[in-house]
Structure 1
Amino acid sequence: MLYEKLIRPVLYRLGSNDPEVVHERTMRVLSRAGAAAAPLRRYFAVDDPVTVFGLSFPNRVGLAAGMDKDGRALAAWPALGFGFVEVGTVTRLAQPGNPKPRLFTLPRSEAVINRMGFNNAGAEALARRLASRGKPGVPLGVSIGKSKVVPLEEAVADYQASLRTLYPYADYFAVNVSSPNTPGLRTLQDKSALAELLATLQDTSRELAGERRPTPLLVKVAPDLTDPALAELLEVCETHGVSGIIATNTTLSREGVDARERTLAAETGGLSGRPLTARARDVVRFVHGETGGKLPVIGVGGVLSGQDAQRLLDAGASLVQLYTGLVLKGPGLVRRINRTVAA
């Protein structure tokens, strides 16, 4: 609670109440801390090993994509108790993202709206950083997306290039076709488009793996899909040997936002946090049921307490991820969740 009552308000005052400034300053601190943060692991981390899609995780709580897009603070995240880290979303081409302001906090709703637009330094830059600094001591996922300037008809080659560039470094890849902040991206969730994309990425993965086991490919889905559309997507994923589903991305819905924050909620972009808690759990439950539990699920969306995480696991998730909860509650949340789900 110290983070919420003291540290976060100070960070926002120092950042002129701009969430993106606060985020950037936090990332600079964590990137400089590096290996020096390792002793913190004795406090934050809980050993609760689990094996999912062939990978061994020291615990079930991971950092979601979006927090450390360019892999700048990889040494710090395990020290804060995370059992795995997902960087990105990264695109083949470096891009600045959407115009600022593009990140908004809704404290009464325990929510965040973002329209960042995959701002990142590009796949080549991430590969160079991973080659020079190494990976974290926990499984590393890489979320890949479409470069904004690339036409949809060239999206498959764009994803494929990122996969090739980053293949030596990722323990799994998350194929992001569900962000609401890149025009047209969500159309790649359609049956034919997704089938073409996954077929190419799986062929490329097998080629790059050689005699080794191919790196797992996961698909991140939107919470706004209808059940029939989601069922169709899952059928495509199973046909093409996807290793798992990440449920869910941010939502375009504004249901559940506090009435006093309706003006701020009118900002365009994806909503995350408490208003997404129930929907993310419903999607996890649907995926688990539709696939008969054969397709592992990483549950993400509105995880702001240990109980939220446990309910996602009870709904069928094998792992959980944090983003907004970490922003709003601080690193103590990682410890509380780990202790809850390991009990």
Structure 2
Amino acid sequence: MSVLERVGLSALRRIDPEAAHTLALRALRAGLAPMPGPVTSPRLQTTLAGLTLPNPVGLAAGFDKNAEALHPLSRAGFGFIEVGAATPRAQPGNPKPRLFRLTRDKAAINRFGFNNDGMDVIAARLAKRPCDAVIGLNLGANKDSPDKSADFATVLNTCGAYLDFATVNVSSPNTEKLRDLQGPAALSELLNGVMRVRDALARPIPVFLKIAPDLTENDLTDIAAVASKTGVDAIIATNTTLDRAGLHGPHASEAGGLSGAPLFEKSTHVLAQLATLSDLPLIGVGGIGSPDQAYAKIRAGASAVQLYTALVYGGLSLGANIVRGLDELLRRDGFDTVADAVGTGKKEWT
């Protein structure tokens, strides 16, 4: 981490978390963040649902909700970038404060509620995206929508031409009744609608499904079956959790989704369970803050990983550092490619 990044990170931690996030995006657009360009090697290069990635470490949705920093983020060292979530209509989200740092736990709790500029504004920004990066969009639903299921297809229809992949997000805990869409019947209807739109695009793209960590084994079995039957290309495991076990500090009981270090074990366990239930590619998310943790997700069954909350504590350069460290771990253990390591340690998590 550079001196400039260290000083900037220290300053941001002294102010309101959401204001700090806004300032971080402004600094990124102004070129004040590390931009090492693509970080890759023959070991790191991999494919995910037909996408060619320079490395398997991606930026999760939520950091750049409105696709405002696509160009600098494409140079930050990540193998792929996911923006959003986007909803059909712009919406302010839930009342503030709605983002809380749990510094001792290296975690965060948010209850944003899909605050975003709406699909039309986001589509216009995506139309000017860098062409040499892999960029996807997290699809969401408006809070007051009479048909939340249809919203996902609507967003994809508007933005799909500018994307390399799209993620169906039915696992955010911050939009009322959204997680109800993870049930087999509702999920099947929703995904079939999304896939019809995907197949009608001039350039059909992979569709991913992002699930919650707070699911039973029976839930996971149902979701894996529905995902396979509807033609989903990969599953992202997992979103934030409602669990509050073992947290510290004054914000530990705030409502919303918990992300960061405390989520690592729970999300990795779900990931490994899915690896035994499904042949679909998996993307591991939740609590990754080091090369060892990214490697553990891959060995548990992930073809690629994503991170976000750890950047709050480790800075944007953490992404590239994790990529380089992962390359060394693969070399150390004799793996010629990322794909060779996928699933080699899943028995440790099931």
Please report the TM-score for the alignment, with normalisation by the length of structure 2: 0.89
Structure 1 residue 116: deviation in Å?
0.6
Distance 1:207 1:308 in 2: 38
Bigger Cα displacement from structure 2, 178-187 vs 327-336: 327-336
The CA distance in 2 between the partners of 1:141 and 1:205, in whole Å, is 13
The alpha-carbon deviation at position 9 of structure 1 amounts to 2.0
What are the equivalent positions in structure 2 for 1:96-111 lying under 5 Å apart?
Answer: 96-111=92-107
2:47 corresponds to 1:46: no
Aligned counterpart, 1:9 = 10
| Partner of residue 180, structure 2 | 187
- Partners in 1 of 2:252 and 2:2 — Cα distance? 27
Cα distance in 1 for residues equivalent to 2:152 and 2:74: 28
Q: Could you tell me whether the CA contact under 8 Å between 1:74 and 1:136 is conserved in 2? A: no
Residues 71 and 129 in structure 2, CA contact (< 8 A), matched pair in contact too: no
Amino-acid identity (%): 45
Deviation at 1:6, TM superposition (A): 4.0
* Count of residues in Structure 1 that have an aligned counterpart in Structure 2: 325
Is the contact between residue 35 and residue 72 of structure 2 (CA under 8 Å) also seen in structure 1?
A: no
State how 1:193-232 maps to structure 2 within 5 Å.
193-209=186-202, 212=203, 214-232=204-222
- Contact map agreement 1:97 1:119 (CA 8 A) in 2: yes
Aligned counterparts of 2:326 and 2:69: Cα–Cα separation in 1: 25
SS at match of 1:138: coil
Measured on the aligned residues, the alpha-carbon RMSD in Å equals 1.8
Q: Which amino acid aligns with 2:212?
A: A
Q: How does 1:171-320 map to 2 (within 5 A)?
A: 171-209=164-202, 212=203, 214-258=204-248, 261=249, 263-291=250-278, 294-320=279-305
- The correspondence for 1:167, drawn from 160, 165, 169, is 160
Mapped to 1, the partners of 2:131 and 2:13 lie a distance apart of 29
Q: Secondary structure at the match of 1:158?
A: helix
Alignment match, 1:26: 24
- What is residue 146 of structure 1 aligned with on the other side? 141
Residue 77 (structure 1) shift? 1.4
- Asked if the contact 1:41–1:78 (Cα under 8 Å) also holds between the matched residues in 2, the reply is no
Structure 2's unaligned 5+ residue stretches are 329-350
* Alpha-carbon distance between aligned partners in 2 of 1:93 and 1:266, rounded to the nearest angstrom: 31
How far off its partner does 1:53 sit?
0.3
Structure 1 alignment gaps of length 5 or more? none
1:303-324 deviation per Cα after TM superposition (whole angstroms, max 9, x unaligned): 0111110000000101111110
Query: 2:261 corresponds to which letter in structure 1?
Result: R
Choose between structure 1 and 2: higher helix proportion: 1
Which letter maps to 1:28? R
One-letter amino acid matched to 1:226 = T
Q: How far did 1:339 drift?
A: 1.4
Deviation (angstroms), 1:2: 6.1
The amino acid that maps onto 1:278 is E
Residue 160 of structure 1 and its aligned partner are, at CA, apart by: 1.4
1:302 is displaced (CA, Å) by 0.2
